[in-house]
Structure 1
Amino acid sequence: MKLLPTFALLSLAGAAIPSPPVWPANACTDKSLSIPSWVISNLTVTGSDVSFRLLNRASNYEGAVACTQGTCTAAGSAAIHVTAHSGESNVQVDIDDTWSCSDKRDPIMVHATGSTTIALTAGGTPVFAETLIRGSIKSPVSLTPAYPDPPTGYDLASCSAKTESPSWTITQAVLRNVSFYIDPQTHEWVLPGLYFGATITNDLIGFEANCSAQLAQDPRTNPGPVTFNCSADTGTYNRISTTVTWNQQEELLSLSQVWYCIEDPATNQVPSAVAASGTANVPLSCATPDPTLPEVRCTNERTKVPGSVTERAEGLPVFSLTDPPPTVGGCTVDSLTNASWTLDTFRFFADNTTEPWEIDTFYMYFYLNNAHIGLWTATDQLAYPMVNTSNNNHTWIQAYVVENFDVQSQYKVFFIYDYGDNSRIDVRQAWECTDKDPAHPLLFNATGTTHLTQPPCIPWTDHSVFCKDDSLVATFPPSNWTYTVLNA
């Protein structure tokens, strides 16, 4: 057995088990907004006194915590407030923690809370060596990050890294020979070709993979073996991955799969992983071709696939089956620490520009990019009359979102351009971030200001000019912002 830094791996042949992901160094902000949490270890209970080691997984603080009569002191930190109350069969721990992160352009202060009940054995020791407390962020935004569900069947008695005889059941296998037609339900064209699909069920854990692929574009061909993945996250750690090879000429299906287990979950926290493969003939029975129908189906209702283990991984990191993958940046993180707009391709048409206050008609165009939501915005507006310092008529003008002209009103972009105040432009925009908690998105509202270089102008008509500067690029951050938690 080859020992790796975080887990033991035995590789026989075939499919590879993904390595557990590791957060990059100096990722305080990203971890704080993804996995605000603490790990308790080495817990001991003596009467009403409780002591343990505490690790903040975001800030990397680690220290001893000593509690007497429920009141606790965390070594080396006055910002961590802990209470711990022991009972006959458990210990209730509550944490209120504040820490700073300065690894991004804009530093943030994070305030988070969490609580848990730690089960004790009859002897007064914790059932598990480590306990994870997931936190809820109170500031800089109100956020409880979502965590992935554990893999299907991970806690079943039949799920074991020591298994020797994995098997699968194939149901609803179908080969479709398709010509051009319009689907009566979706009303979309279906492309011609050979299509194969099947449902593959792991007999040990009950996981179902729905697998399908186009074997050939020409339905008259008899293609060779075609290999395809059954899900987009194939190869991702803590996600069950299934890969299929279908040999049409021999009606032979080969598959490989990786799945995850926690054996004896009542007393064990340490995950393991299994990779296995199998092959079986899947004879297909074809319907009589009907020239009036756009497709011919060949089917097999049920086939067993015996398998063998090709790789085992034991001693995987505790809690890794339900941790989100390490993510650097993203909508929420960048909105809080690196928000900015980039404006370029600035040009306008105007009448009577001898003096700024004499402008009557104004037509303006530019690109505005908010990188954190990936939207390009362009104006296509006639502002009448033109806004400027002298008349104090500062009116927000709505701009178009290029990718979606039907974007909801709360996500539209507005601007003010003040020719008379050193070509000042104000921007107001709202955007939604769903990357940390899709069920409770964060709706940001922000405003910002920048001054543009006056673009050179040329006469356009007898009483108007055309001004542009395609080389102008202005990047500026919000001057203020607010947020709202949706679906709260």
Structure 2
Amino acid sequence: MSARLLFLAVSAAASVSAQLAAAQGCTSSSFAIPSWWIQGLQSSSAGVSFQLVNRATNYTADAACQITTTGGWNACSTKSKENGVVSASVQVTETSAQVFVNQTWTCSDRTGIPPVTFAAVGNNSVALTCTGSVCEAELSSLLVKGSLLAPVAITPAYLEGPPGHASPGCLAAAQNPWWTLSNTYYVKEIGDGLTSASSQSFYLLLTNPATGYQASCMSGSGYDDTSFESQRLVCAGGEFGLQGAERYTITTDASFDPATFKLSLNQTWYCDDVDAGKPFAITGTASEILALDCKDYGTDTVSTTCNAPGDITVNGQLLSKSPLPAYSLAEPLPVDDGCTISSVLNPQWAFSQFHVDNSLVTFEIILKAPRRGYAYPISISQDATAKSSDGWYPCVLGPGASDTGGIYHALWPSKCSIKYTPATKELIFKADWVCGELDPDHPITFSGVTTTTVNTSLACETADGISQCFTADLGYTWSAGISNVTWH
């Protein structure tokens, strides 16, 4: 279903005046984390009660639910100090409770942007622990992740979180941490200074059984370093390519003393296997004299190779256990507006490199968004093979446009047409573009029209019968709004 770029007002009874959300602001948070806390859930013969908190707006309501349908959904009444209505219902069994939330709210925290109305739904279940006739939720706070229904229909993707954070036994293992070392070796070569250089290297594969996380650790010294001083090791695992993409990453600091074969390490990892609402950062430390078998080789160059005969178990101690914000391990990172939010709130194209060859228009373009990442403008040209009676010509998209796997993040048109009037330098650009950075499984196709003027002087020349005009300032760029925007 297509929706116009109008922020439809809903009646005061159906809408919630949203407060400014915590760190990211109401609008940004509503797009990124439409969700609710369910806190203090309790079930008894009198019914079910809990507190509901909208995480994007901080709207809080107390819910009371009469159980009139056994095994079915039961509506809840809500009371709040804030204006607005939120719909909630529960389904209760002897061992669990499921909560469904439906809410509409409005954000007005963006200067120069009309208030934006959001609607979202979500549900989640929690196990109950009962004492007599009174049952309480086992989780301190239940996170109900929402799916947006308006202004766009998306279910924002959450992060995977650091490796092994939800592995059974993760938190319990923190009391007595230990690691497994495998493929451990140390090599030292003394060269003659003429035909061979001196060097030393150390390597091991470190595994934390609490999370299953593995890191490769190696010395950062190398050639011309044959000192017997302790060497700092460089350790990295699967997080190496995720810097900036995850809120929390496992870190390992380690060193190796070649004089004594002493390995020292500190590692920080994360656990929320007991209660995702109560995550912890765990730091463990250990030191061990490694039992390595060494052999010497060579004459002119003396090479010493030391290996561990098998895996080595290193027992450690718990250094610290620090609580983190509830459910934060998989929480999306706060980011600037990307493709989706920019397209809904203030869609604009950024034009550059404009020129005309024998009335055929070419330019570069990219959707204007604060968060562009590695995106760059794409070349757009008028299809020279097409014929037109009304001045409209289909576009030819430049290199990279066929990479549909990346088009959701590229901020490029996926289909377009051009109408250019040389006498007035008016350019009309109709385009579709696709945004999928918030919900890769359900990308949104936007459509809109831009009418703009190439508001700079053009330098023209004719060579070999071909007339060419281009912006006198080759670095000239300009932005123009997109109107009549629809999406589906």
The residue aligned with 1:82 is 88
User: Offset at 1:61?
Assistant: 0.9
Summarize the Cα distance change of 1:157–1:375 in structure 2 as closer, same or farther, 3 Å threshold.
closer
Q: Secondary structure at the match of 1:33?
A: helix
Corresponding residue of 2:3: none
Letter in 2 for 1:37: S
Cα contact 1:422–1:454 (8 A) shared by 2: no
| Residue number in structure 2 paired with 1:73 | 77
1:396 CA displacement: 1.6
Instruction: Tell me the residue number matched to 2:255.
Output: 245
The aligned counterpart of 2:339 is: 331
Show the counterpart of 2:215.
Answer: 210
Which residue is 1:143 aligned to?
Answer: 154
**Which residue pairs with 1:274 in the alignment?**
282
**Consecutive unaligned residues in structure 1, runs of 5 or more:** 1-22, 179-192, 291-295, 350-360
Q: CA separation in 2, counterparts of 1:457 and 1:158?
A: 67
* Mapped pair 1:170 → 2:181: yes
Q: State how far apart, in whole Å, the 2-side matches of 1:396 and 1:297 are.
A: 67
Determine if contact 1:348/1:468 at 8 Å carries over to the other structure: no
Distance 1:53 1:420 in 2: 63
Which residue of 363, 366, 378 maps to 1:366?
363
The answer as to whether partners of 1:118 and 1:126 remain within 8 angstroms in 2 is no
Q: Does 1:477 align with 2:484?
A: no
Output the amino acid matched with 1:159.
L
Secondary structure of 2:340's aligned partner: helix
RMSD of Structure 2 on Structure 1 (CA): 4.0
Q: CA deviation at 1:27?
A: 1.5
Per-residue CA deviations over 1:399-445 (Å, capped at 9, x if unaligned) read 414xx375349764644141257322233455554433444444545
Alpha-carbon distance, 1:254 to partner: 2.7
Deviates more, 1:340-349 or 1:461-470: 461-470
Which of 292, 297, 311 aligns to 1:302? It is: 311
- What is the aligned partner in structure 2 of residue 14 from structure 1? none
SS at match of 1:125: strand
Shift of the 80–460 alpha-carbon distance from structure 1 to 2, 3 Å rule, reads same
- Specify whether residues 175 and 34 from structure 1 end up closer, same or farther in structure 2 by C-alpha distance, changes over 3 A only: farther
Kindly indicate whether residue 428 of structure 2 is the aligned counterpart of residue 418 of structure 1: no
Matched, 1:435 2:431: no
1:305 counterpart SS class? strand
CA contact (8 A) 2:386 2:394 kept: no
TM-superposed deviation, 1:247: 4.9
Instruction: Kindly indicate whether the alpha-carbon contact (under 8 Å) linking 2:104 and 2:120 is maintained by their aligned counterparts in 1.
Output: yes
Query: Normalization by structure 2: what TM-score?
Result: 0.71
Rounded Cα–Cα distance in structure 1 between residues aligned with 2:415 and 2:201 = 45
Contact (CA 8 Å) 1:400, 1:412: kept in 2 or not?
Answer: no
CA–CA distance in 2 between the matches of 1:381 and 1:287? 71
Structure 1 vs Structure 2: percent identity of aligned residues? 24
- Name the CA shift for 1:432/1:249 in 2 (closer, same or farther; >3 Å): farther
Residue 342 to residue 121, structure 1, CA distance change in 2 (3 Å) = same
Q: CA deviation at 1:149?
A: 4.0
Residue matched to 1:40: 38
Which AA in structure 2 matches 1:114?
G
Choose the corresponding residue for 1:259, options 259, 269, 281. 269
Change in 2 beyond 3 A, CA 1:423/1:137: same
Deviations 1:194-215 (A, max 9, x none): 7754321224x14232314573
Q: Secondary structure at the match of 2:156?
A: coil
Instruction: Output the CA distance in 2 between the equivalents of 1:437 and 1:298.
Output: 50
Look up the equivalent residue of 2:312 and give its one-letter code. T
| AA aligned opposite 1:39 | W
Q: CA 1:115/1:461 → structure 2, altered by over 3 Å: closer, same or farther?
A: closer
Hey, what does 1:132 align to over in structure 2? 143
Q: Assess, with a 3 A threshold, how the Cα gap between structure 1 residues 228 and 102 changes in structure 2: closer, same or farther.
A: farther
Structure 1 pair 80–289 and aligned structure 2 pair: CA distance change class (3 A): farther
Change (3 A) 1:412 1:194: farther
* C-alpha contact 1:161 1:261 (8 A) present in aligned 2: no
TM-score, length-scaled by structure 1: 0.71
Measure the CA separation in 2 of the matches of 1:246 and 1:339.
Answer: 55
